[in-house]
Structure 1
Amino acid sequence: MGTAEFITQVNATAWAERYWSGDKQLTIADTMPRFYFDVRDRRSSTIDDDGVDMPDAEAACAQAAVAAAEMLKSLVPCDATELFVAVRDERGQRVGEVTAEVRVTQHA
Protein backbone atom coordinates (compact mmCIF):
# COMPACT_ATOMS: atom_id res chain seq x y z
CA MET A 1 0.00 0.00 0.00
CA GLY A 2 1.37 3.41 -0.97
CA THR A 3 1.64 6.40 1.34
CA ALA A 4 -1.30 8.22 -0.21
CA GLU A 5 -3.49 5.11 0.00
CA PHE A 6 -2.60 4.61 3.66
CA ILE A 7 -3.27 8.22 4.58
CA THR A 8 -6.54 8.24 2.64
CA GLN A 9 -7.81 5.27 4.62
CA VAL A 10 -7.24 6.97 7.95
CA ASN A 11 -10.18 9.20 8.88
CA ALA A 12 -11.35 9.99 5.31
CA THR A 13 -14.96 9.26 6.23
CA ALA A 14 -14.80 11.45 9.34
CA TRP A 15 -13.55 14.42 7.33
CA ALA A 16 -16.28 14.01 4.70
CA GLU A 17 -19.04 13.94 7.32
CA ARG A 18 -18.01 17.38 8.66
CA TYR A 19 -18.70 19.32 5.46
CA TRP A 20 -22.26 20.24 4.45
CA SER A 21 -23.64 23.13 2.41
CA GLY A 22 -27.39 23.59 2.80
CA ASP A 23 -29.16 20.58 1.31
CA LYS A 24 -26.11 19.51 -0.68
CA GLN A 25 -23.36 17.48 0.89
CA LEU A 26 -20.02 18.64 -0.48
CA THR A 27 -17.45 16.11 -1.56
CA ILE A 28 -13.99 16.08 -0.03
CA ALA A 29 -12.56 17.50 -3.26
CA ASP A 30 -15.05 20.41 -3.14
CA THR A 31 -13.95 21.57 0.31
CA MET A 32 -10.37 20.52 0.96
CA PRO A 33 -6.95 21.32 -0.40
CA ARG A 34 -4.71 18.52 -1.62
CA PHE A 35 -1.47 17.60 0.15
CA TYR A 36 1.38 15.38 -1.02
CA PHE A 37 3.49 13.10 1.16
CA ASP A 38 7.04 12.40 -0.02
CA VAL A 39 8.75 9.59 1.88
CA ARG A 40 12.49 9.04 2.29
CA ASP A 41 14.52 6.57 4.31
CA ARG A 42 18.20 5.66 4.22
CA ARG A 43 17.74 3.40 1.19
CA SER A 44 15.09 5.00 -1.00
CA SER A 45 12.71 7.87 -1.58
CA THR A 46 9.19 8.08 -3.01
CA ILE A 47 7.60 11.21 -4.44
CA ASP A 48 3.82 11.35 -4.01
CA ASP A 49 2.22 12.31 -7.33
CA ASP A 50 -1.37 11.57 -6.25
CA GLY A 51 -1.84 13.45 -3.00
CA VAL A 52 -4.67 13.33 -0.48
CA ASP A 53 -7.42 15.84 0.29
CA MET A 54 -7.08 17.09 3.87
CA PRO A 55 -8.76 19.96 5.76
CA ASP A 56 -5.56 21.97 6.26
CA ALA A 57 -1.78 21.80 6.64
CA GLU A 58 -2.03 21.01 10.35
CA ALA A 59 -4.19 17.95 9.67
CA ALA A 60 -1.87 16.86 6.85
CA CYS A 61 1.18 17.05 9.12
CA ALA A 62 -0.62 15.16 11.87
CA GLN A 63 -1.60 12.46 9.39
CA ALA A 64 2.01 12.32 8.14
CA ALA A 65 3.12 11.58 11.71
CA VAL A 66 0.65 8.71 12.01
CA ALA A 67 1.72 7.34 8.64
CA ALA A 68 5.43 7.63 9.50
CA ALA A 69 4.94 5.67 12.72
CA GLU A 70 3.06 2.93 10.87
CA MET A 71 5.62 2.75 8.04
CA LEU A 72 8.50 2.65 10.52
CA LYS A 73 7.08 -0.61 11.90
CA SER A 74 7.73 -2.30 8.56
CA LEU A 75 11.41 -1.31 8.37
CA VAL A 76 13.94 -3.86 9.59
CA PRO A 77 15.56 -2.56 12.78
CA CYS A 78 19.29 -2.01 12.60
CA ASP A 79 21.60 0.30 14.52
CA ALA A 80 19.45 3.28 13.52
CA THR A 81 16.42 3.54 11.27
CA GLU A 82 15.11 6.94 10.18
CA LEU A 83 12.12 7.82 8.06
CA PHE A 84 11.26 11.29 6.75
CA VAL A 85 7.87 12.39 5.41
CA ALA A 86 7.78 15.79 3.71
CA VAL A 87 4.31 17.34 3.33
CA ARG A 88 3.71 19.57 0.28
CA ASP A 89 0.66 21.64 -0.58
CA GLU A 90 -1.01 22.02 -3.99
CA ARG A 91 1.54 24.66 -5.03
CA GLY A 92 4.42 22.29 -4.23
CA GLN A 93 5.46 24.30 -1.17
CA ARG A 94 6.70 22.26 1.79
CA VAL A 95 4.34 22.86 4.72
CA GLY A 96 5.87 20.38 7.16
CA GLU A 97 8.16 17.44 7.68
CA VAL A 98 7.96 14.48 10.02
CA THR A 99 11.05 12.60 11.16
CA ALA A 100 10.56 9.21 12.79
CA GLU A 101 13.46 7.24 14.20
CA VAL A 102 14.07 3.95 15.93
CA ARG A 103 17.45 3.44 17.55
CA VAL A 104 18.48 0.01 18.81
CA THR A 105 21.31 -0.22 21.35
CA GLN A 106 22.42 -3.60 22.60
CA HIS A 107 24.23 -3.90 25.93
CA ALA A 108 26.49 -6.82 26.69
Structure 2
Amino acid sequence: MQNITAEELKQRIDSGEELYIVDVREPGERAEFNIGGVHIPLGHIQAMQVDELEEWKEKELIVYCRSGNRSGQACMLLDTMGFTNTKNLVGGMNKWLELGL
Protein backbone atom coordinates (compact mmCIF):
# COMPACT_ATOMS: atom_id res chain seq x y z
CA MET A 1 0.00 0.00 0.00
CA GLN A 2 1.08 3.49 -0.84
CA ASN A 3 -0.60 6.83 -0.19
CA ILE A 4 -2.03 9.41 -2.55
CA THR A 5 -3.08 12.93 -1.58
CA ALA A 6 -6.39 14.54 -2.44
CA GLU A 7 -4.58 17.12 -4.58
CA GLU A 8 -2.75 14.43 -6.57
CA LEU A 9 -5.93 12.46 -7.17
CA LYS A 10 -7.93 15.55 -8.18
CA GLN A 11 -5.25 16.51 -10.69
CA ARG A 12 -5.28 13.01 -12.18
CA ILE A 13 -9.09 12.98 -12.41
CA ASP A 14 -9.09 16.42 -14.04
CA SER A 15 -6.49 15.33 -16.60
CA GLY A 16 -8.85 12.57 -17.76
CA GLU A 17 -6.55 9.74 -16.72
CA GLU A 18 -8.15 6.30 -16.58
CA LEU A 19 -8.29 5.51 -12.86
CA TYR A 20 -9.44 2.52 -10.85
CA ILE A 21 -11.15 3.96 -7.77
CA VAL A 22 -12.95 2.15 -4.95
CA ASP A 23 -15.20 3.82 -2.35
CA VAL A 24 -15.32 1.67 0.83
CA ARG A 25 -17.80 3.84 2.77
CA GLU A 26 -21.33 2.86 3.70
CA PRO A 27 -24.17 3.62 1.24
CA GLY A 28 -25.45 6.63 3.23
CA GLU A 29 -22.01 8.25 3.23
CA ARG A 30 -21.64 7.70 -0.49
CA ALA A 31 -25.06 9.23 -1.16
CA GLU A 32 -23.99 12.46 0.59
CA PHE A 33 -20.90 12.99 -1.58
CA ASN A 34 -18.58 10.89 -3.68
CA ILE A 35 -15.95 11.20 -6.38
CA GLY A 36 -17.10 8.16 -8.30
CA GLY A 37 -15.53 4.76 -8.60
CA VAL A 38 -16.82 1.34 -7.65
CA HIS A 39 -18.72 1.17 -4.36
CA ILE A 40 -17.69 -1.76 -2.17
CA PRO A 41 -18.18 -1.14 1.58
CA LEU A 42 -15.31 -2.23 3.79
CA GLY A 43 -17.40 -5.06 5.25
CA HIS A 44 -17.62 -6.67 1.80
CA ILE A 45 -13.85 -6.49 1.42
CA GLN A 46 -13.42 -7.98 4.90
CA ALA A 47 -15.72 -10.82 3.81
CA MET A 48 -13.61 -11.15 0.63
CA GLN A 49 -16.57 -10.29 -1.60
CA VAL A 50 -14.52 -8.47 -4.22
CA ASP A 51 -15.22 -10.44 -7.40
CA GLU A 52 -15.95 -7.23 -9.32
CA LEU A 53 -12.37 -6.08 -8.63
CA GLU A 54 -10.68 -9.28 -9.77
CA GLU A 55 -9.77 -7.87 -13.19
CA TRP A 56 -8.09 -4.91 -11.46
CA LYS A 57 -5.57 -7.00 -9.46
CA GLU A 58 -2.58 -5.69 -11.45
CA LYS A 59 -3.90 -2.11 -11.77
CA GLU A 60 -3.21 0.86 -9.54
CA LEU A 61 -6.23 0.73 -7.24
CA ILE A 62 -7.08 3.99 -5.44
CA VAL A 63 -9.22 3.43 -2.34
CA TYR A 64 -11.08 6.10 -0.36
CA CYS A 65 -13.38 6.51 2.63
CA ARG A 66 -14.40 9.38 4.92
CA SER A 67 -11.08 9.91 6.72
CA GLY A 68 -8.54 7.49 5.26
CA ASN A 69 -8.75 4.89 8.05
CA ARG A 70 -11.13 2.38 6.50
CA SER A 71 -9.54 2.78 3.10
CA GLY A 72 -6.15 2.05 4.67
CA GLN A 73 -7.59 -1.14 6.16
CA ALA A 74 -9.12 -2.02 2.79
CA CYS A 75 -5.77 -1.53 1.05
CA MET A 76 -4.05 -3.85 3.51
CA LEU A 77 -6.76 -6.49 3.01
CA LEU A 78 -6.61 -6.17 -0.77
CA ASP A 79 -2.83 -6.50 -0.63
CA THR A 80 -3.22 -9.82 1.20
CA MET A 81 -5.64 -10.93 -1.54
CA GLY A 82 -2.99 -10.42 -4.21
CA PHE A 83 -3.66 -6.86 -5.36
CA THR A 84 -0.28 -5.46 -6.31
CA ASN A 85 -0.66 -1.67 -6.36
CA THR A 86 -3.13 -0.24 -3.82
CA LYS A 87 -3.16 3.43 -2.87
CA ASN A 88 -4.94 4.95 0.12
CA LEU A 89 -6.42 8.44 -0.25
CA VAL A 90 -4.90 10.25 2.74
CA GLY A 91 -7.56 12.15 4.69
CA GLY A 92 -10.36 10.70 2.57
CA MET A 93 -13.42 12.74 1.67
CA ASN A 94 -12.94 14.92 4.75
CA LYS A 95 -9.67 16.22 3.27
CA TRP A 96 -11.18 16.48 -0.21
CA LEU A 97 -13.99 18.70 1.06
CA GLU A 98 -11.70 20.67 3.39
CA LEU A 99 -9.55 21.61 0.38
CA GLY A 100 -12.63 22.52 -1.67
CA LEU A 101 -11.72 20.14 -4.44
Q: TM-score, normalised by structure 1?
A: 0.30
Structure holding more strand per residue: 1
Q: TM-score, normalised by structure 2?
A: 0.31
**Bigger radius of gyration among the two:** 1
Higher RCO (C-alpha 8 Å, min separation 6): 2
